[in-house]
Amino acid sequence: MTGGGLRSHDAATGFPFHRSRSRRVTSNVGQNYPYTSETEADRATTVASFISTHEGMADTLKAETTPVDQNERWWVWKCPTAGCPGLLHVAGYALDKHALFVVCDGTCGKTFLR
C-alpha cells in the first residue's frame, strides 16, 4: 500500500508508454492491439468496481477524461505490467491526449492511455 495512487496518476498524465519503452514485445499480440472485447454492461460494471476500490479515481476520471459514448462493445487489452494478469477496460476519453483512458482490473491496478 505504498504510492499506488501516485503511480496511477503518473501513468494517466503522460507516461510515454506507446513508443520509447515498448521495444521488447514478447509476442506479436502487441501492447496496442486489443486482446478481446466486452459488452457495455460488462465494461460499466468493471469500471464502476475499479472506481469504488481506488480512492480518488472518480475525481481523476472527472478531471482527466470525458465519459465514453454509448457503444455496444468495447475493446479490452492485456495489462502490460510484468506479472499482472489483468485486463485493461475503457473508463473514458483522455481530455487532451486523443486516447482512451483505461484501467487495469488485475493486481497492478494501474491506469493507462491507449
Stretch binding Zn ion (CB under 5 A), from 12-20, 24-32, 41-49, 104-112: 104-112
Q: Is residue 106 part of the contact set for Zn ion (CB under 5 A)?
A: yes
Stretch binding Zn ion (CB under 5 A), from 13-21, 38-46, 63-71, 97-105: 97-105
3-state secondary structure the chain: CCCHHHHHHHHHCCCCCCCCCCCCCCCCCCCCCCCEEEEHHHHHHHHHHHHHHCCCHHHHHHHHEECCCCCCEEEEEECCCCCCCCEEEEEEEECCCCCEEEEECCCCCCEEEC
What is the nearest approach in angstroms of Zn ion to the Cβ of residue 112?
A: 9
> Mask of contacts with Zn ion, 47-86, x by CB under 5 A?
--------------------------------x-x--x-x
What is the nearest approach in angstroms of Zn ion to the Cβ of residue 70?
A: 27
